[in-house]
Amino acid sequence: MVTRDEAHEDPRRAASRLTGRPVTGARAGSGSPAEVTLDGGTRVMVKRGDAPGAVRAEVAGLRWLAAAGTVRVPAVLGHDERWMVTERVHTGHPDPEAALRFGQGLAALHAAGATDFGAPPPDGPEDAFIGLAPMRNAPGTDWPRWYAEHRVLPYVRGAVDRGTLRPGEAAVFERVCARLPELAGPAEPPARLHGDLWNGNVLWGADGEVRLIDPAAHGGHRETDLAMLALFGCPHLDRVLAGYDGTAPLADGWRERVGVHQLFPLLVHAVLFGRGYAEQALTVARSALAR
């Protein structure tokens, strides 16, 4: 249970309490995430999760990704139900060779696998989040059915409820879901996904190695992570894909399936940010139906 004092903490106090170390400085502002300096000059990131279970889900996801020993993630230095403290990543510039290694590591991360599609990380809650949107990790064994029930249709309903999608437009996504068994390509085992792999969650380290932050980790289809990288733009994406495909070749026709996998993040964005993303999702869905 979060106490009243903990609920009203600022990042400095939370960092000191969770790491057991004095705080010697912080960047201006008290937002989340915030950069805080501990004694000895160690800089850390302090993040507050206001929704119940949000911190637990993120910590479990980071640890699950780290356990694969592939793409690096910031170490969790302390957490409770409201706050988490992680190491700060010293960032540099995107580099083609780092991108190639990232692709290789991402392939290995996915190959580490999951027990089921929708499986949450160990110790992670079923009711998790992708960004600020709720995301339920309900296990399933058949990817097309699971993707329709837990990654497409809930956000279609959410967008209709918010007025972002018109009720009649929901039928477009329902038709895509009905055709997913033929649109999904060859069956694949559940992959260990980052789950929210847009470029903002890819940090290009000053040491030449990529770190991943802010996961919405779960068991899923490996093409979903790659489709999200492509959706919002990733530096040297061609090199990332070359490293990936050279390590774990993608099934034939994967490029034609990118839009199907992008429906999930587009619909999440439609729920959170409005009509522009709904129109983009409709365009992608109609294109899939035209195949």
Give 13-45 as a DSSP string. HHHHHHHTS-EEEE-SS--SSEEEEEGGG-EEE
Q: Which residue has the higher pLDDT, 8 or 257?
A: 257
pLDDT at 13: 94
Mean pLDDT across the stretch 109-115? Answer: 98
pLDDT at 5: 52
Active site annotation includes 196: yes
Catalytic residue among 5, 10, 50, 196: 196
- For the chain, domains (ranges, CATH) are 4-87 (3.30.200.20), 96-289 (3.90.1200.10)
Band (pLDDT 50/70/90 cuts) for residue 3 is: low
pTM over 0.85? The answer is yes
pLDDT at 28: 62
Mean pLDDT across the stretch 21-43? Answer: 86
pLDDT at 26: 87
What is the percentage of the chain residues whose pLDDT exceeds 70? 96
